Amino acid sequence: MRCTTCARAVHCRCIRGDAVTTADFVIVGAGSAGCALAYRLTEAGRTVTLIEYGGSDFGIFIQMPGALSYPMNMPRYDWGFSTVPEQHLGGRRLATPRGKVLGGSSSINGMVFVRGHRKDFDFWEESGATGWSYADVLPYFKRMETWHGGVSDWRGTDGPLHITRGKRRNPLFDTFIEAGHQAGWPYTTDYNGENQEGFGPMEATIWKGRRWSAANAYLRPAQKSGRLTVIRALARRVLFEGNRAYGVEIERNGRVEAIRAGREVILSASSINTPKLLMLSGIGPAEHLRDHGIEVRADRPGVGANLQDHLEIYMQYKALKPVSLYTYYNLLGKGRVGVEWLLQKTGLGASNQFESCGFIRSGEGIDYPDIQYHFLPLAVRYDGKAAAKGHGFQAHVGPMRSKSRGTVRLVSCDPGAAPEIHFNYMSQADDWKEFRACVKLTRKIFDQPAFTEYRGDEIQPGAEIQSDEQIDAFIREHAESAFHPCGTARIGQASDPQAVVDPELRVIGVEGLRVADSSVFPRITNGNLNAPSIMTGEKAADHILGRPLMQDRIAAPAAT
């Protein structure tokens, strides 16, 4: 037998009867975009119910920037997703952390703040995301931030999100910047401002020694308004009356309930969980939905398609001088760092240790930077599980605009089941060409005179890895996700069968339902995705409120 409400098996526990209206808007997901959206809607006098499966973000592992390797590996804070065996990476399953906590992935990420390049957003508009060009999104980037880097027409000064730079007290940070310049690239004084390309200081969502997540920046001020209700529950699917979304079915404390929205439902559940929810609600590729016994409400093949990410490798070197963080990479050292942070919110624990960076082009004819560097004064895995024995340093490096595309798909109609995630990493020939360039160009940077007094032997890939075949084998075995999934419900025109939301972020084919998170990105942006995700929530609020969209026709940068 099938449920008459959702066409699933009778054990689906569907809601029957009327749901209670809780607020003007119901948002699913208290992550980067969801928190920003909730704040702006409540600021405008609207009431919001925010549904989040994860719990509190209060705790040293989240709030202390230097502890960043811990929360993304803790089941308490992370959904624990992983990919299917990736064919082009030797059949490895790669971790796909997503925040299961207030603040979402902004509470477990590396806190790096990168807007993206202006040409990323101009591409969005050219591909059908009308009104999402750089000139259209720049005012929202400015509105959302308080930048502590000086005075600039390109930066914001009074937004909820504090953006700071590390003090770069370790000499290796400025050495990396100088080496990039010696290798032939420019300095960039602000890669989030007029010119991204070059080497310079990295920016972070850290304020007064604490992680300044979307929960700290947006959620708590919204709660103080009295117009926001946060519900801890698992969102099971969107509920419809006819073709209009009227609420969300949730499960909490073992009971299934319905949460009704007076106006609209907005999904901000991540580029993994948002397409999953859409498909569970009957919106997605028709044949795939039918395979799982789900009634098709809107046949949108683009739901769960267009999945993108950034891959990276770690280029590691031994240090000839004891200047790296290895001094503190032991129980006693970590304890000292933790105590100083707890008492004063200062010291190494107050930094994510990504304090210098670079954006360069992989070769001639590349329109704008397509390689990103994060420099770290320690030779260690990003998850903190394996450090080189002794002093060292490393650069995280990877291509920014892979042509590979993957999918998020249901494994069943059970809302509690994790979806199937297949990035299809390294499936395009250009991916390999760009990654080889990453290895060769990074060696060029570390071979510069600036590093002479510090540079020891290459730990990995290792000096013996030279040929393209050897480099490819290293990439196949060691490339890791930078944890930047996006694109699974992309913006486009209603006439585009692969588009999922229109430029107003309304889900095509139904009414009363929008998406506002990194799912909507037509193409991945240059750099880390927290900043453009928050920007999406900011801009979504004006679309939802029917406000005139902000414009900033600032002059084009002098260089790309």
Catalytic residue positions? 484
Cβ atoms within 10 Å, residue 391: 23
Nearest CA to 199 out of 178, 225, 169 is that of: 178
Return d(Cα 256, Cα 262) in angstroms, integer.
20
Q: Name the token pair of 124.
A: 């969005």
Return d(Cα 178, Cα 187) in angstroms, integer.
8
Q: At what angle do helices 429-446 and 171-182 cross, to 10 degrees?
A: 110
Q: Name the token pair of 298.
A: 């809107």
Return d(Cα 302, Cα 275) in angstroms, integer.
9
Do 536 and 172 touch, CB atoms closer than 8 A?
no
Q: Name the token pair of 57.
A: 């973000």
Do 324 and 400 touch, CB atoms closer than 8 A?
no
Q: Name the token pair of 560.
A: 């790309």
Return d(Cα 496, Cα 492) in angstroms, integer.
6
Residue 210 in 3-state DSSP? strand
Strands 198-201 and 81-82: unpaired
∠ Cα 273 277 283 (to 5°): 130
Cis peptide before 461 (omega within 30 of 0): yes
Residue positions counted in the chain: 560
Do 531 and 113 touch, CB atoms closer than 8 A?
yes
Q: CB-based contacts of 282: which residues, under 8 Å, 6+ apart?
A: 6, 240, 289, 294, 295, 296, 297, 298
Alpha helices in 447-524 (DSSP H): 468-478
Return d(Cα 162, Cα 213) in angstroms, integer.
9
Return d(Cα 134, Cα 556) in angstroms, integer.
10
CA-derived radius of gyration, the chain:
23
Do 291 and 305 touch, CB atoms closer than 8 A?
no
Q: Name the token pair of 466.
A: 């030279």
